[in-house]
């Protein structure tokens, strides 16, 4: 796409002002890095607080009678029994049990009596397909896309302390919960704070009106502990955290079980089924899948990128790398990919083929860098 065809987030002018290098991403003009560089941005997020513009993501309300249980026909999650405010990570599935997208979903207080309301956040590159899919399969529910809202992530071990200076009660919010500004006593702000993120660190994603996003971001950036972070460091942080990137580590051909996401399918749904591809997925949970997503630690300093073949000692191809690069916090090259189940055990010795050269590696547990989620005092 030409630059004139790319969409801009509400923070676009701020990115340019801060000297960001802008690149096309999911149809948007997005910052990949700022003048300090990806390495510095990555390490600053780990040590303090990084501000990410994720306004390109898709946000929507799904509303109507029994909306939570109706949505469970599309995804292997448990929303119907969850209290409002409890955030769930899940996947939209196709009939074969492949992943159409991964997303966040949470029940919110309904706008009308006798109805339910879900707040959904989906991937930028998939949002139009996702929303069309939901409308097609749940035509009697209302899906309202929130194009008038921005989404800002504040991530890092100091993120909660920074936000608590503005909203003190946020410090006590546990991981995977969503709190509105109104619930914090600030009825003048239409903000949602979800204690979640895509870095493996503690932090929040804040949904707010697009017209207020720049002033809000500038206010946070005025704090010396907060620096702007681009897509480059966002990717290296999520790789160290062992988190999937849609279209790379998961797609329509992979099941949640193969991808190591079985933990996101709760006990009730395993017992009841009733979601797309349930027969395949429940069989894989019981008997094991034919392949598995694994972490890979390389012995040397050269990284392996997406697409590199994974071979065994006999030179037979047993899998392929789906994400790879240098882990700044790990201090070494790391990767993840899919291998035949027989080779998925921690410590299994493999080679990654990069430009015709074999790089020695071993299957390793993930995350590569410990998660720092706040699960309550």
**Tens digits of residue pLDDT in 191-218:** 999 999 999 999 999 999 999 999 999 9
CA angle centred on 372, ends 366 and 376, rounded to 5°: 130
- How many other CB atoms sit within 10 Å of the CB of residue 280? 17
Structural domains in the chain, sorted by start: 12-55+148-240 (3.30.1360.120), 290-364 (2.40.30.110)
- 375 vs 377: CA distance, rounded Å: 7
Residue 132 has which token pair?
A: 């069309």
Q: What is the mean pLDDT of residues 40-52?
A: 98
Residue 307 has pLDDT above 70, yes or no: yes
What's the pLDDT score for residue 377?
A: 67
Q: Which helix (H) or strand (E) holds 350?
A: strand 349-354
Encode burial over 324-335: b for 16+ CB neighbours within 10 A, e otherwise: bbbbbbeeebbb
- 336 vs 126: CA distance, rounded Å: 22
pTM listed for this prediction: 0.96
- 133 vs 335: CA distance, rounded Å: 32
What's the pLDDT score for residue 80?
A: 95
- How many other CB atoms sit within 10 Å of the CB of residue 236? 24
- 87 vs 106: CA distance, rounded Å: 5
What's the pLDDT score for residue 337?
A: 98
Residue 371 has which token pair?
A: 């998660």
């Amino acid at each position: 796409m030409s630059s004139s065809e790319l969409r801009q987030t509400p923070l676009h002018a701020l990115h340019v002002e801060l000297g960001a290098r802008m690149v096309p991403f999911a149809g948007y003009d997005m910052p990949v890095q700022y003048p300090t560089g990806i390495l510095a941005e990555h390490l600053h997020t780990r040590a303090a607080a990084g501000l990410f513009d994720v306004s390109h993501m898709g946000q929507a309300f799904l509303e109507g009678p029994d909306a939570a249980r109706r949505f469970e026909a599309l995804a292997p999650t448990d929303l119907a029994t969850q209290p409002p405010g409890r955030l769930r990570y899940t996947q939209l599935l196709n009939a074969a049990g492949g992943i159409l997208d991964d997303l966040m979903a949470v029940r919110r207080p309904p706008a009308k009596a006798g109805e339910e309301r879900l707040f959904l956040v989906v991937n930028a590159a998939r949002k139009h397909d996702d929303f069309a899919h939901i409308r097609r399969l749940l035509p009697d529910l209302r899906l309202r896309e929130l194009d008038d809202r921005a989404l800002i992530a504040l991530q890092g071990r100091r993120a909660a302390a920074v936000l608590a200076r503005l909203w003190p009660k946020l410090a006590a919010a546990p991981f995977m919960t969503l709190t509105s500004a109104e619930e914090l006593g600030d009825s003048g702000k239409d903000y949602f704070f979800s204690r979640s993120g895509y870095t493996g660190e503690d932090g929040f994603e804040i949904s707010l009106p697009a017209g207020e996003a720049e002033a809000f971001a500038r206010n946070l950036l005025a704090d010396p502990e907060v620096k702007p972070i681009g897509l480059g460091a966002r990717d290296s942080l999520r790789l160290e955290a062992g988190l999937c990137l849609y279209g790379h580590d998961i797609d329509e051909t992979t099941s949640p079980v193969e991808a190591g996401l079985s933990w996101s399918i709760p006990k009730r749904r395993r017992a009841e089924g009733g979601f797309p591809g349930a027969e395949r997925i429940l069989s894989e949970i019981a008997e094991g899948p034919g392949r598995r997503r694994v972490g890979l630690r390389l012995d040397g300093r050269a990284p392996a990128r997406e697409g590199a073949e994974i071979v065994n000692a006999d030179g037979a191809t047993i899998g392929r790398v789906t994400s790879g690069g240098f882990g700044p916090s790990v201090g070494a090259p790391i990767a993840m990919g899919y291998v035949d189940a027989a080779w998925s055990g921690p410590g299994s010795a493999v080679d990654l083929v990069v430009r015709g050269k074999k790089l020695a590696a071993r299957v390793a547990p993930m995350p590569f860098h410990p998660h720092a989620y706040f699960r309550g005092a």
